[in-house]
Amino acid sequence: MVLPCAGPMTSHASEPVAPGDDNAHFGSKEDNLRWYREMLRIRRFEESAAQAYTRGKISGFLHLYIGQEAIAVATKELLQPHDQVVAAYRTHGFAIAFGSAPGACMAELYGKATGLVGGIGGSMHFFDRKHQLWGGYAIVGNHVPVAAGHAFAAKYRGESGVTLCFLGDGAVAIGPTHEGWTLAGLWKLPIVYVVENNLYSMGTPLSRSIPVEDITLKAAGYNMARERFQVTSVAETKARLGEAMRLAREESRPVLVELITYRFRGHSMSDPGKYRDKDEVEAWRRSDPMERTMQALRRLHGISEEELEAIDEEVIAEMDEAVRFAEESPAPAPEARFHNILAES
Amino acid sequence: MALIQIRHAIRDAIAEEMARDERVFLMGEEVGHYNGAYKCSEGLLERFGERRVLDTPIAETGFAGVGIGAAMCGLRPIVEFMTFNFSAVAFDQILNNAAKIRHMTNGQFSVPIVFRGPNAAAHMLGSTHSQAFEPFYAHVPGLIVIAVATAYDAKGLLKSAIRDENPVVFLESELMYSVKGEVPEEEYLIPIGKADIKRPGKDVTVITWGQGVPVALRSAELAAAEGIDAEVIDLRTLRPMDTEAVLTSVRKTNRAVVLFHGWPYGGVGCEVIAQIQEQAFDDLDAPVLRVCYEDVPMPYAENLENLVLPTAERGLAAIRAVTYRR
Amino acid sequence: MATVVELPRLTDTMEEGVIAKWRVAVGDKVKRGQVIAEIETDKATMEFESFDAGVVLQLVATEGETTALGAAIAVVGKPGEDAEAALAAWRGKSGGVAPAAEAPKAEAPAPKSEAPAPKAEVAPEVSPAVAAPAPAAPAVAAPAPVEDGGRVPASPLARRLARENDLALTAIRGSGPHGRVIKADIVSAIEARSAAPKAASGAATVTSGAVDRRGRPFVSAPDRPVKLSQMRKTIAKRMTQSKREIPHITLTIPIVMDRVAAMRAEISQAIEGSKISFNDFVVLAVARALREHPRVNGAYSADGIVEYGDVHVGVAVAVEDGLVVPVVRFADQKSISEISAEIRDLGARARSRTLRPEEMSGSTFTVSNLGMFGIEHFTAVVNPGEGAILAVGALSDEVVAEGGAPVVRKIMRCTLCSDHRLFDGADNARFLAALKRLLEAPMALFA
């Protein structure tokens, strides 16, 4: 007998869930202030990068994280010393949130010697081992098995580290993702796969690229635990992602988490965004976690416009400084192209 | 000296390195309970346990990627491809991750991993299972590519490969796993990047590697019967290539033949020839010839396969041609 | 259209040549690279290999006939082709050089050796492509294809070896595929070059009508016409030029050679296998004396005098029907044993006619020694382009007065024949005095 498919065959969600305004979505005044500032840092960094791009200072591909900042900020607060984060090519936000110097990040975009990876990698290849950012992978889905390898190593050595592997919804269809998930499930690796579902695989809505609406349904086939929610606040994201990490860490169970989110910019700088209309973008802006946190600061904690303005000015000054640093940094030395191809043994 | 098969030289190399270094582990299809599709890991599961000898599902991209991720964490994986034909589905992992991570992280990460398994045509396996992969991998900066043809070289070079900080593609031969050779009882290593003169000679240099080596040696014997003294150089490491060894020999003999398993177009043979013509042009008395697969997908039928493969007779014909003997 | 074969330029200084021997006859099939003639040049008799394939339709030049460079010497083509038509077309196209026999030879370009000023240190490196005399008319010969532009197919190694051994690739038959010249061909060419050329045969005798007192007929031999060899011609031309243009002055000095003899004996005892000759000492002493007297190491021309910066001593060597003057370069900077070894080698190769052209050019002064024939004293003719020549006589034991008493000394007479336009009798004498001083106190040569 043919059994019905496990998941509902409904249309795909393209409308944001209207988040509640109850206090559970927010933290203490200190938390909210910190989260707001951190999200703002990412956003202002990305805006500076976009501006530099339009001024011809940055070339290549530039994928901005605007709209998805809460995820990186929540993740940062969950990381323990032996954990590592592997991400794809929309990675600036993780670096900024995790503590990489904005100057080094911007210098990398500028292709300067002082960049995060010496100007060798560029926007799509951010690695900052010291700050637990282990990439930076630009071939869709090919980091999924690599991340499983990190988790494998932790388990092999009996260490408590958890690997967090972020991938876009666009990476769900490709083969390596499934081979990585197969091995993670088969070998019960301590890893959390987080699909940042921003509803579009580049310009293609998920209804045209994935056969089910609920990506976490796939977890069943890989013996992974699953979790799925829309990102409307750092607090909730931190709480639910934290639980997934606990499961991975304490029970060595892989978990598949789907975070529904929205990027307010195009897929990359060259994306005119014609596949979605202004109303849709506006609707999502109303549930933008950063915007909501700012409102909460006003409403719940009585933070004044002037205070918010002051925070913004500080952040803008920090990013201006990052741009200045990048502009004034030297280009890599000619011989740098020969470095690090093979280890000298 | 013990006389052992190449498969056992490989197994012994893995076993010695696993015993020596806790970070070394073996993964691949059928490497554990089955004892290896070609018995190159016979007894290793029993000795080292399931933690360090891992049977994988048929998911080359998956386990190649896991190996790379583990290597980035400081482990030293040995990833067996049941044959290198299957590495094609893991090609992106090797090309874009193993080979590039050190470079694109500006040295923050190393990928000390060995991808090993049989390469090139065996016997009547048809086109998808009869391919030589060295051109694909030797093309890539960031990889080391080794091809072995004797038990001695297999053991010494595999041990060096496992200890190397770099990703190594280690090519073996299904047809040659049973070939026996002398291997010292005591431990030894063979440096990566050094060619070996398998037969000294003065009239013509035959450059070869991997499964080509026995063919080249047989060609040299046939040539010797005709009074032509061929020198056979086994490159052993294809990247980085021991160009000096090749040039030294060619400067002596003034003639060269490159004999290998693989297609002629754009391969390692071409690189050998390019190096010779760039650096020893004025020492050449004849064009450098290639003896290799014909430029066709490998057919299954035995008679057709024999026509495509490089043979000792074809090697001899090339040796005659470059020495102007008819 | 058949191909006209032209007289090739086989040496650097060749202006004309003689077909010493045709190795093919009309009607013979010719392959590319096949030797079709022996051609006598000013330096040697060389084999000429065909650039063309086909059948010999006509031999334009006859054996022994002097022919200008580039002149038509044969026609090669398909059987039945019209050789005369080919020749006519060739003349029209190339303004063809007529064979010497038909028309007075056009003034050949003056070789640089006739002018005193530039001394050719070494022959300019000849690239194979340039050295190959390109066929005047693009040959459409059957059946083999013809190399375009005269480029000879050769392996890189063969090219290098040819360059190093001063062999023209055009003169070597390639045994490789498509006529490619390979190492083996160069090796045989080097071996062939070492083999000496052969002698000519004698003439028959006849009896004359005249009888002796007893009525027996005298045996009469006919005059033997001897064709001028290229070498004889060159000698004749240059010596005539010298005697016509150069006012010679000639001074002779006796030199006591006892101390050289003693030193020579000592060296031969001290150094195993050394065979230093008196002449080697003379050459060394000459070279050093030339340094002291730079004018003697010079040459006159109407445009001015040149004092050569380097001392390259030519050593005249008699060869069959002629002489050649191989050159010891930078002789003033060489040791006696270097000079000795070099002269021995050059002499041997002069006699086997395997000297390279540049080994026979560029001398700034010449030494001619006829001592081995017992000649005591002679005069010589200055080589055009030089200022003087030293004629060296034999050593002989002579009784001389020393301090009023007779003693026996080994005396050698040296005669300096020089160009009076360049310097005068006293300069000549001073040079000879310096030479005498160096040879009578030969330790100075080693100081």
A49 has a pLDDT exceeding 70:
yes
Q: Is residue A62 part of a domain?
A: yes
The pLDDT score that the predictor gives to residue C277 is 92
CA of B243 to nearest chain C CA: how many angstroms apart? 20
What DSSP state is assigned to residue A276? S
User: Which chain B residue has its CA at the smallest distance from A139's CA?
Assistant: B96
Query: Beta strand pairing status for B204-208 and C317-319?
Result: unpaired
Residues contacting B281, CB < 8 A, separation 6+: C156
Decide if C155 touches B, using CB distance below 8 A. yes
Angstrom distance (rounded) from CA C40 to CA B35:
82
How far separated are the first and last CA of chain C, in Å rounded?
A: 70
Strand partners, C299: C306
User: Which chain C residue has its CA at the smallest distance from B250's CA?
Assistant: C157
Residue B271, CA distances (Å) to B246, B316, C158 in order: 12, 22, 24
Give the distance, in angstroms, between the CA of residue C293 and the centroid of all CA atoms in the same chain: 28
Least confident of B63-72, B260-269, C8-17: C8-17
Give the distance, in angstroms, between the CA of residue B243 and the centroid of all CA atoms in the same chain: 16
Higher pLDDT, A176 or C45: A176
Q: Is residue A14 part of a domain?
A: no
CATH code of the region B2-183 = 3.40.50.970
Least confident of A239-248, A276-285, B217-226, B249-258: A276-285
Residue-wise pLDDT for B1-17, tens only, equals 899 999 999 999 999 99
Polymer length of chain C? 447
Contact B70 A340 (CB under 8 A): no
Catalytic hit among C248, C293, C312, C420: C420
Which residue segment(s) compose the domain that A275 sits in? 23-328
> Which residue segments constitute the domains of chain C, with CATH numbers given?
3-110 (2.40.50.100), 230-446 (3.30.559.10)
- Say whether the C–A interface has 3 or more Cβ pairs within 8 Å: no
Decide if A67 touches B, using CB distance below 8 A. no
CA of B244 to nearest chain C CA: how many angstroms apart? 19
A11 contacts A66 by C-beta, under 8 angstroms? no
Q: Is residue A323 part of a domain?
A: yes
Instruction: Tell me the domain boundaries of chain B.
Output: 2-183, 196-322
Residue type, A165: C
Tabulate helix, strand, coil % of chain C (nearest 5): 30, 25, 45
Residue-wise pLDDT for A140-186, tens only, equals 999 999 999 999 999 999 999 999 999 999 999 999 999 999 999 99
The pLDDT score that the predictor gives to residue A20 is 63
* pTM recorded for the entire structure: 0.65
CA of A147 to nearest chain B CA: how many angstroms apart? 6
**Which residues in chain B have Cβ-Cβ distances shorter than 8 Å to A183?**
56-57, 59, 62-63, 66
Instruction: ipTM value, please give it.
Output: 0.92
Angstrom distance (rounded) from CA C428 to CA C446:
24
Contact A179 B106 (CB under 8 A): no
Q: Is residue A2 part of a domain?
A: no
Tabulate helix, strand, coil % of chain A (nearest 5): 50, 10, 40
Residues contacting C161, CB < 8 A, separation 6+: C167, C183, C186, C187
Pick the CATH number of B196-322 from 3.40.50.300, 3.40.50.920, 1.10.10.10, 3.40.50.620: 3.40.50.920
Residue type, A179: E
Joined tokens for residue A49:
């990068």
Using omega within 30 degrees of 0 as the cis cutoff, is the peptide bond preceding A211 cis? no
Decide if C159 touches B, using CB distance below 8 A. yes
CA of B242 to nearest chain C CA: how many angstroms apart? 23
Strand partners, A230: A260
Residue type, A173: A
CA of A188 to nearest chain B CA: how many angstroms apart? 13
- Average pLDDT over every residue of A226-243: 94
Residues contacting B170, CB < 8 A, separation 6+: B114, B115, B116, B117, B146, B148, B157, B158, B161
Angstrom distance (rounded) from CA B171 to CA B182:
20
Q: Residue with structure tokens 């950063």?
A: A290
CATH of the domain at A235: 3.40.50.970
Give the distance, in angstroms, between the CA of residue C290 and the centroid of all CA atoms in the same chain: 24
B247 contacts B280 by C-beta, under 8 angstroms? yes
- Of B73, B38, B68, B34, the residue nearest B54 (C-alpha): B34
Q: Is residue A1 part of a domain?
A: no
Contact A150 B70 (CB under 8 A): yes
Contact C157 B324 (CB under 8 A): no
Q: In sequence order, what DSSP letters do the residues of B214-250 get, joined into one string?
A: HHHHHHHHHHHHTT--EEEEE--EEETT-HHHHHHHH
Contact B69 A186 (CB under 8 A): no
SS3 call for C180: coil
Of the pLDDT bands very low, low, confident and very high (cuts 50, 70, 90), residue B37 is very high
Decide if A120 touches B, using CB distance below 8 A. yes
C238 contacts C361 by C-beta, under 8 angstroms? no
Residues contacting B306, CB < 8 A, separation 6+: none
Residue A14, CA distances (Å) to A199, A264, A277 in order: 7, 14, 12
Residue type, B38: Y
Contact A343 B59 (CB under 8 A): no
Q: CA torsion sign, A306 to A308 to A314 to A317?
A: negative
Element (H, E) at C29: strand C29-30
Interface test with B, best of A125, A133, A162, A183 (most B CBs within 10 A): A183
> Is B174 known to be catalytic?
no
Chain B residues at the A interface, defined by Cβ less than 8 Å, are: 25, 51, 54, 56-57, 59-75, 92-93, 96-97, 101-110, 112, 141-142, 144, 164-166
Residue-wise pLDDT for C111-170, tens only, equals 444 344 434 333 333 333 333 333 333 333 333 333 444 678 899 999 999 988 888 888
**Which residues in chain C have Cβ-Cβ distances shorter than 8 Å to B284?**
155-157
Strand partners, C413: C254
Angstrom distance (rounded) from CA C121 to CA B131:
60
Decide if C178 touches B, using CB distance below 8 A. no
Residue-wise pLDDT for B157-209, tens only, equals 999 999 999 999 999 999 999 999 999 999 999 999 999 999 999 999 999 99
Residue type, B112: P
Contact A341 B141 (CB under 8 A): yes
- Say whether the C–B interface has 3 or more Cβ pairs within 8 Å: yes
| Chain C partners (3+ C-beta pairs within 8 A) | B
Share of chain B above pLDDT 70, in %: 100
Of the pLDDT bands very low, low, confident and very high (cuts 50, 70, 90), residue C204 is very low
Cα torsion through A151, A152, A155, A157, rounded to 10:
-110
Q: Residue with structure tokens 């998956």?
A: B62
**Which residues in chain C have Cβ-Cβ distances shorter than 8 Å to B286?**
155, 176, 182
Joined tokens for residue A103:
């100057």
The pLDDT score that the predictor gives to residue C136 is 37
Count Cβ–Cβ pairs < 8 Å, chain A vs chain B.
141
Contact B283 C157 (CB under 8 A): yes
Q: How many domains does chain A have?
A: 1
Catalytic hit among B8, B17, B29, B60: B60
Q: Is residue A303 part of a domain?
A: yes
Angstrom distance (rounded) from CA B63 to CA B78:
11
CA of B302 to nearest chain C CA: how many angstroms apart? 34
Q: CA torsion sign, C121 to C317 to C254 to C256?
A: positive
> Is B103 known to be catalytic?
no
Q: CA torsion sign, A186 to B67 to A63 to A170?
A: negative
**Which residues in chain B have Cβ-Cβ distances shorter than 8 Å to C161?**
none
C258-270 and C278-292 are packed helices; what angle lies between their axes, rounded to 10 degrees?
120
Number of Cβ within a 10 Å radius of residue B139? 16
